[in-house]
Structure formats: structure tokens, C-alpha cells
């Protein structure tokens, strides 16, 4: 009888122990959800307008390009070069799966084939895909939480992203360090199809812009080109602005300001 009574008393405690374990397990962070939250925080849940300055640094020279970038969802993006004067007025449009560039100096509209997505944008270490966002960091990759690490003293999730077989993406793998509190991408490594690292990105100068905390300086460093880097500074950003789909048109890319 003693044994029976003893075991009966243990049952509630055992159930509580396993129930607590299941609760903790159900609350474990989902890697895809972390990446989605970081992506939406930086790009806006519905739309965004960013004003940026991009400095391209090479061993013997450097130059700065200023531009505006409008986005709406995944399907629409329009980028306008505003400086320097020789490049001002050039624009780039993505609508659905089609992309174009417009050069007012020669009055020429060019359709960009998918093969150009991996090429450098405006001579920088950014790719056309980075600017026009043809691929999705949420939908085109499998996400695996690889643990937690500190970046610049901030606790981060370390997430490995493997490209899906059916996805047409520039990077076969990415590793992202995403701040646990603010969901900021503070570091990223991007790899080619052979598994070799191509470039490293770091996010810094964290500030409040349009009601949310974001990284306002992004530095890209290619792995095999010593002395090369590209620095992007966000000067202004607006999230979830009202913008019609008709804004993203070939006609508007010639007239937008």
C-alpha cells in the first residue's frame, strides 16, 4: 500500500514535468519565423521607401552613389539614382518576375534577364538581386537554427539558410546572425553553389527610424578581393507607405523623382 500511495503522489509531479517540457518545446523559436520578422522589420510588412548613399571602395579609388528605393511586397520594386549627376535619372524596375533598367542619357529601356541577377549593381559589391529583390530570404530557403552567438555584445540567433532546389537564387547558402531582441541582421555570410564564401555583410549604427529600430549602416566585403568593400548608409526610411501597383511601371520609371 505504501508503494501504491507513493507512486500516486508522483504522477501529478511527473505530468507537470512533462507538460512544462512540452510548453518550453512549443515556445522554441522557429528559424523561418525569425528570418521573416527580420526581413519585414527592415523592408516593411507591406511597403517601404528608403533613401540611401552607397560608397564603393576599391584599392585605388572610391565613389558614392545616392538613390531611392521603393518596394511593395515581393513583386514590386523601383530604384532611382539621384546622384552623382552623371548617373542621376537611371532607374531599375521589378514587376513580378520581369525586370528592366532605364538610362535617360541614351533613352534606352533594357529588359534584364535572370542571368544578370548575380552581377554587380552600379559597379558595387551589391548584386542586381540585392536591389531588385527577385529572390526571397523567407520563401526560397530552408532555415535551420544553429544556436546563439554574440555580435558586438548583442545576443543573436545563428541561422543557416539552404537554398531550395527549385529556387532560382544567387546564393546557395547564407548564414545570418539576427539580434534576439530587435530582430536585426547584424552579420551575414553568403556562399556560392560550390560552398565557398563570397562575401560578408555587417549591420551597425543602430538607430530609430520611422518608429522602429534598424541597422542604418551595412558593409559588404567580398571574400576574394582584398581592399574592396561597399558601404550603404540609410539616410531616411518610411515603412508601409500607401503606394499603388501602378507606380511600378515602365512609364513611371522614366519620370519618377
Domains in the chain with CATH codes? 31-255 (2.50.20.10)
| Mean of pLDDT over the chain | 89
CB atoms within 10 A of CB 130: 23
| Residue 40 confidence (pLDDT) | 94
State which H helix or E strand residue 116 sits in.
none
| Burial category of 100 from C-beta neighbours within 10 Å (exposed 0-12, middle 13-18, buried 19 and up) | middle
Q: Which residues pair with 48 in a beta bridge?
A: 71, 239
List, for residues 184-213, the tens digit of each pLDDT value.
999 999 999 999 999 999 999 999 999 999
CB atoms within 10 A of CB 102: 21
134 SS3 class = coil
Radius of gyration of the chain measured on its C-alpha atoms = 23
Return the C-alpha torsion angle 149, 151, 157, 162, nearest 10: -100
| Residue 27 confidence (pLDDT) | 59
Cα–Cα distance between 70 and 50 in angstroms, integer? 7
Mean pLDDT in residue range 175-186: 97
Q: In the structure grid, which three cell numbers stand for residue 249, read together?
A: 511601371
Confidence of residue 15 (pLDDT cuts 50, 70, 90): very low
Q: Which residues pair with 93 in a beta bridge?
A: 78, 100
CA angle 218/224/230 to nearest 5° reads 25
The model carries a pTM of 0.83
Confidence of residue 2 (pLDDT cuts 50, 70, 90): very low
State which H helix or E strand residue 92 sits in.
strand 91-95
pLDDT(124) > 60? yes
Amino acid at each position: 500500500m505504501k508503494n501504491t500511495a507513493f507512486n500516486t503522489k508522483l504522477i501529478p509531479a511527473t505530468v507537470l514535468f512533462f507538460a512544462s517540457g512540452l510548453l518550453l518545446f512549443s515556445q522554441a523559436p522557429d528559424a523561418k519565423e525569425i528570418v521573416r520578422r527580420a526581413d519585414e522589420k527592415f523592408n516593411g510588412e507591406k511597403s517601404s521607401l528608403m533613401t540611401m548613399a552607397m560608397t564603393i571602395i576599391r584599392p585605388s579609388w572610391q565613389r558614392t552613389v545616392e538613390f531611392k528605393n521603393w518596394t511593395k511586397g515581393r513583386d514590386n520594386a523601383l530604384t532611382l539614382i539621384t546622384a552623382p549627376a552623371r548617373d542621376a535619372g537611371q532607374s531599375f524596375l521589378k514587376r513580378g518576375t520581369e525586370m528592366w533598367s532605364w538610362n535617360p542619357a541614351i533613352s534606352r529601356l533594357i529588359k534584364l534577364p535572370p542571368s544578370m541577377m548575380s552581377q554587380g549593381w552600379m559597379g558595387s559589391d551589391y548584386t542586381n538581386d540585392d536591389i531588385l529583390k527577385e529572390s526571397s530570404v523567407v520563401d526560397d530557403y530552408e532555415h535551420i537554427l544553429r544556436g546563439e552567438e554574440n555580435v558586438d555584445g548583442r545576443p543573436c540567433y545563428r541561422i543557416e539558410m539552404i537554398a531550395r532546389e527549385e529556387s532560382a537564387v544567387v546564393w546557395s547558402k547564407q548564414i545570418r546572425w539576427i539580434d534576439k531582441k530587435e530582430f536585426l541582421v547584424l552579420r551575414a555570410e553568403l556562399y556560392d553553389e560550390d560552398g565557398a564564401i563570397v562575401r560578408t555583410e555587417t549591420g551597425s549604427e543602430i538607430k530609430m527610424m520611422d518608429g522602429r529600430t534598424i541597422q542604418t549602416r551595412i558593409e559588404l566585403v567580398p571574400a576574394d578581393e582584398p581592399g574592396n568593400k561597399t558601404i550603404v548608409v540609410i539616410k531616411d526610411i518610411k515603412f508601409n507607405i500607401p503606394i499603388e501597383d501602378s507606380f511600378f511601371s515602365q512609364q513611371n520609371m522614366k519620370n519618377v523623382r
